[in-house]
Amino acid sequence: MADSWRSSLEIHDLATGRNRVVLRSPDLIEAPNWHPDGWLMVNGGGRLWRVPLDAPRLEPIDTGACDRCNNDHGFLPDGRIVLTHHTGAGAAIFALREGSPPVPLVTARPSWWHGATAAGGGGMRIAYAAARDDRRVVGLCEMDLATGAERRLTDFTAACDGPDYAPCGRVIWFNSAASGHAQIWRIGPEGRAEQAFADDNVNWFPHPSPCGGHVLYLAYPPGTEGHPRDLEVGLWLMRPDGGNRRQVVALFGGQGSINVPCWAPDGGTFAFMRYAPIA
């Protein structure tokens, strides 16, 4: 294994174009989120971990009975941690305040959290990938946390994943295979889904920046099936109108690199995971 590390937690600075290594680990860690107070959260070994930026290290976060956490986690607008926990019955979504036990948010299974907002009216909402009914095609849902009402965002005829809210709270970005292979799509305020652009790459996990000027996404090589780990991939930026697409980071990664919201609150940097090939 290169330099005895498996996972490299890094930060990309848009202004300089440089990447800074925050922490390297011999273990598999995934999916950084950026807390408003200036620390990162990742998952690994079924647990969630805090990484302080002033003295980077992996500090365990107590998630109680939720001990099979995957890389679909983050923060709610009210400061709670939100996570996806796997059981024999499938994945469900929980929330917790540190020091208190997790409470269920979405118990219908399987459900995988990806985004949250309190902007745009309608109170606090979460967006997530889910499979419902007997077709088991993964589509998108939204839940109003005040009422617990689930609303389907897609028709579930083609696989969709990775929903994340624009800063306005009225546009949801996601990836879908509706046009043949995974591409970047958005749902506007009127509820209509549209594809942002078309290319040969297999594109996943779009994340709009907090400043509203960029959308970050993960690009796999043409022909890739699903969203596997351990491939030569790229992190790309584009304008919200789909223009000015360009690769900003080339890396060995994929699954775990940017599965969930990873922008710094000021929109000037984002966090990501790079991986070392396994010998």
The pLDDT, as a whole number, for residue 115 is 98
How many structural domains does the chain have?
1
Tokens representing 154 are 């897609």
- The pTM assigned to this predicted structure is 0.97
Residue 79, domain extent: 2-275
Looking at residue 1, what is its pLDDT? 41
Q: Are 95 and 105 in contact (CB under 8 A)?
A: yes
Helices (H) and strands (E) in the chain, counts: 0, 23
pLDDT, position 3: 65
Which residue do the tokens 């929980």 mark? 94
Is 209 within 8 Å of 240 (Cβ atoms)? no
How many CA atoms within 13 Å lie on the side-chain side of 12? 22
Tokens of 149: 């009402």
What is the domain-level CATH number for residue 83? 2.120.10.30
Measured on CA atoms in the order 67, 272, 28, 138, is the torsion positive or negative?
positive
CB 174 within 8 A of CB 163: yes
- For residue 275 the two structure tokens come to 């991986």
Q: Please give the single-letter amino acid code of residue 181.
A: H
Task: From first to last of the 279 residues of the chain, give the pLDDT tens digit.
Answer: 446 999 999 999 999 999 999 999 999 999 999 999 999 999 999 999 999 999 999 999 999 999 999 999 999 999 999 999 998 889 999 999 999 999 999 999 999 999 999 999 889 999 999 999 887 899 999 999 999 999 999 987 889 999 999 999 999 999 999 999 999 999 999 999 999 999 999 999 999 999 999 999 999 999 999 999 999 999 999 999 999 999 999 999 999 999 999 999 999 999 999 999 976
DSSP for 25-56, please give it: ESS--EEEEE-TTSEEEEEETTEEEEEESSS-
